[in-house]
Structure 1
């Protein structure tokens, strides 16, 4: 049924979208509380892994650096696979970045955690590269509907 201006009423458009029409016609719905709690938990794990990696990479230089970057990669990719979206990799990467940035700031007393060395720069740049790789490698699931064609 069409209205006077030639467009379908809003209720009919929503029904068409639910029946397989355009996704743009569906109302925007925020994330579920459970999903938001999952992202917050991944963010907190990212903070912990970033702080532990910052301490570990300097303690045992070549092996500690590889272990810290491997732990970060495991968390980022595991978060993406657990949630099923790329945001699952971005949430722990953001937590990792917050922890690392806070650890690189020098204090008024002159104390600092990251020395100006090759290992620290490799940890910072390598962690960012690992985060980007894990976020782009995250596979999203296929649509559930059997009649959906992906090539269109």
Structure 2
């Protein structure tokens, strides 16, 4: 390759230190993931078939939107981690016997479907693309 001075795969490149803006964006996406997880936990059981689809679509939109906004897969992982932490904490029963998730099909579909959506969005998130005028993508 000529032109950019960077040769080889993106995996062979040295890691760059993240900037303060990327760290702040990751924290904001983490908090948004927690909010979407809590909202989805309430909505999915309230309106069973439609609420479940709405909760999973909201999570997928946040995960994929984070990946596109940060232009890296970490943009999908940060809200997915926030979502998973919140949902796992909400599944635990309290000492009083209260719980948010019932033992039904909808709850299991929300948990497993949300994890599958997180993995798909992190996998489909934009990776590094070579830059420069010498690169010929799409021809």
Q: What's the TM-score, normalizing by structure 1? A: 0.79
CA–CA distance in structure 2, aligned partners of residues 38 and 99 of structure 1: 19
3-state DSSP of counterpart to 2:27: helix
1:76 corresponds in structure 2 to 63
Q: Does 1:35 align with 2:19?
A: no
Deviations 1:2-32, CA, capped at 9 Å, x for gaps: xxxxxxxxxxxxxxxx844578686x54200
Q: Does 1:49 align with 2:36?
A: yes
Question: Which among 127, 130, 137 is matched to residue 143 of structure 1?
Answer: 130
Question: Which among 92, 95, 102 is matched to residue 115 of structure 1?
Answer: 102
Compute the RMSD of aligned alpha carbons: 2.1
Structure 2: gaps of 5 or more residues = none
Structure 1: gaps of 5 or more residues = 1-17
Report the count of equivalent residues.
132
1:105 corresponds in structure 2 to 92
3-state DSSP of counterpart to 2:23: helix
Question: Which among 61, 67, 85 is matched to residue 54 of structure 2?
Answer: 67
3-state DSSP of counterpart to 2:18: coil
1:131 corresponds in structure 2 to 118
Which has the bigger relative contact order, CA under 8 A and spacing at least 6? 2
Q: What's the TM-score, normalizing by structure 2? A: 0.86
CA–CA distance in structure 1, aligned partners of residues 88 and 13 of structure 2: 41
Deviations 1:59-106, CA, capped at 9 Å, x for gaps: 111110000000000000100011111111010000000110110010
